[in-house]
Amino acid sequence: MTETEDYLHFTLPALWSLDNFADWCASYERLECKKMKFLDYMKKGLQKIIDNNMIKEDIRQKASDLHKAFKVYSNGDIGLSQGTIRQLEDRLFVCPLLWPPMAHWRTIRCLVLNYSSVRLEAPMRVEYKGLDLERTFAVDTIVYILNRLFRMHQDELDVAWIEQITPDTKDHKFGGLYKVIRGTGKGQVIIIIEFSYGRKTPESKKSGDMLKLCRNAMRALNKLLKTIPKDSARVYLVQSFNGFIEIKYLVRPIPSIYILQRFMHTKLPTSFGDFEQFANDLKDLTNWQKKKAEKNQISSPRSPCPGGSPSELP
Q: Where are the domains of the chain?
A: 2-98, 131-294
What's the CA gap between 191 and 307, in Å, rounded?
Answer: 13
Of the listed ranges 21-30, 141-150, 238-247, 300-309, the one predicted with least confidence? 300-309
Is the distance from CB of 183 to CB of 299 less than 8 angstroms?
A: no
- Of residues 201 and 20, more confidence is placed in 201
> Does the pLDDT value for residue 113 go beyond 90?
no
Most confidently modeled of 59-68, 124-133, 204-213? 204-213
Q: Band the pLDDT of 241: cuts 50, 70, 90.
A: very high
Q: What is the mean pLDDT of residues 186-200?
A: 89
> Does the pLDDT value for residue 186 go beyond 90?
no
pLDDT score at 102: 47
Q: Band the pLDDT of 180: cuts 50, 70, 90.
A: confident
Amino acid at 161: W
Return the number of other C-beta atoms located less than 10 Å from residue 39's C-beta.
19
> Does the pLDDT value for residue 303 go beyond 90?
no
Handedness of CA 81, 86, 91, 93 (dihedral sign): positive
What's the CA gap between 130 and 76, in Å, rounded?
Answer: 53
pLDDT tens per residue across span 255-269: 989 999 998 899 999
Looking at the chain, the whole-number percentage of residues with pLDDT higher than 90 is 24
Q: What is the mean pLDDT of residues 113-131?
A: 82
- Of residues 98 and 288, more confidence is placed in 288
Mean pLDDT, rounded, of the chain: 75
Is the distance from CB of 66 to CB of 84 less than 8 angstroms?
A: no
Helix (H) or strand (E) segment spanning residue 7: helix 2-10
- Of residues 83 and 165, more confidence is placed in 165
Q: Band the pLDDT of 220: cuts 50, 70, 90.
A: very high
Is the distance from CB of 113 to CB of 278 less than 8 angstroms?
A: yes
- Which residues fall within 8 angstroms of residue 250, CB to CB, at 6 or more apart? 214, 217, 218, 221, 234, 235, 236, 237, 258, 259, 260
Q: What is the mean pLDDT of residues 17-32?
A: 63
Q: Band the pLDDT of 101: cuts 50, 70, 90.
A: very low
pLDDT score at 219: 93
Q: What is the mean pLDDT of residues 96-117?
A: 64
Looking at the chain, the whole-number percentage of residues with pLDDT higher than 70 is 71
CATH of 131-294, one of 1.10.3470, 3.40.50, 3.90.1570, 3.30.70: 3.90.1570
